[in-house]
Amino acid sequence: MATMSKAMGRSFAQPDETAEKGGVQIQVVYLGDIKVKRATYPKGWHFADDMGAPRCQDNHVGYMVSGSIRTKMDDGTEFTINGGDVFMIPANHDAWADEESTIVQFDEFDAAAKRFGI
């Protein structure tokens, strides 16, 4: 479990890490031992085409800052996350950004980082 010894705030304007993968711009800030990721997806981004794998194998919990992302699960369930929504997406999904979209995630960044070399 994550622990913090004091209150703190951080800005994505001064990230601890930055990366780009499949056209997605990523900034990471640390709050103690918690990593918080902001990712901006370009219009037309598609996980299966742009990330080098047919499905995302990570779970996601976060907040859609702007735009929208369509998601399709392996069982065929489809849903759209819109700006202002909070979300939980289980592993084994595909996703599309029909417009530029920005999310903030509080989740398994280490697993994704290792998988995609970021």
Residue 1 confidence class, pLDDT cut points 50, 70, 90: very low
| List of domains in the chain | 18-116 (2.60.120.10)
State whether the Cα torsion 77-82-85-88 is positive or negative: positive
- Dihedral, 78, 82, 85, 86 alpha carbons, nearest 10: 50
Total residues found in the chain within this entry = 118
Phi-psi domain of 72 (left: phi exceeds 0; alpha: psi -120 through 50; beta: other) = beta
Report pLDDT digits (tens) over 11-66.
999 999 999 999 999 999 988 778 899 999 999 999 999 999 999 998 888 999 99
Report pLDDT digits (tens) over 61-118.
899 999 999 999 999 999 999 999 999 999 999 999 999 999 999 865 566 556 555 4
Say how far apart CA 13 and CA 103 lie, in whole Å.
15
DSSP state of 43: T
